[in-house]
Amino acid sequence: GQNIDQPTEMTATEGAIVQINCTYQTSGFNGLFWYQQHAGEAPTFLSYNVLDGLEEKGRFSSFLSRSKGYSYLLLKELQMKDSASYLCAVIDSNYQLIWGAGTKLIIKP
């Protein structure tokens, strides 16, 4: 079966750095997304990786290793507004999007 694993919940301090990991076992791979979802709101796009390596976008970076079935989202200079759930999603060989359950990130002052 297809599976995406993310930690259920993480806690970090304002101003710090946090890394949210995602491992996947899917039938094929055609890319990986990270989305942010604030409580009670819709998911919004953060990043897309299809090649190995690090993609940096401001305070957020996303890393992919296809050989290891692994990605992480790195958030720097954490702000209170970064408190949200972070969803990892993989495009499989049929171009279907498989979603992880999400990681709830709690930022403390």
Site string for another protein, 31-70 (x = CB under 8 A): x-x-------xxxxx--x-x--------------------
CB of 79 to another protein, least distance (A): 22
- The reply on whether position 23 binds another protein by CB under 8 A is no
Please choose, out of 11-19, 28-36, 59-67, 74-82, the segment that lies near another protein by the rule CB under 8 A: 28-36
H/E stretch holding 80 reads: none
Dihedral class, residue 87 (left if φ above 0, else alpha if ψ from -120 to 50, else beta): beta
86 neighbors 27 (Cβ within 8 angstroms)? no
- Compute the half-sphere exposure of residue 25: CA atoms within 13 Å on the CB side of its CA: 4
Please choose, out of 15-23, 54-62, 64-72, 91-99, the segment that lies near another protein by the rule CB under 8 A: 91-99
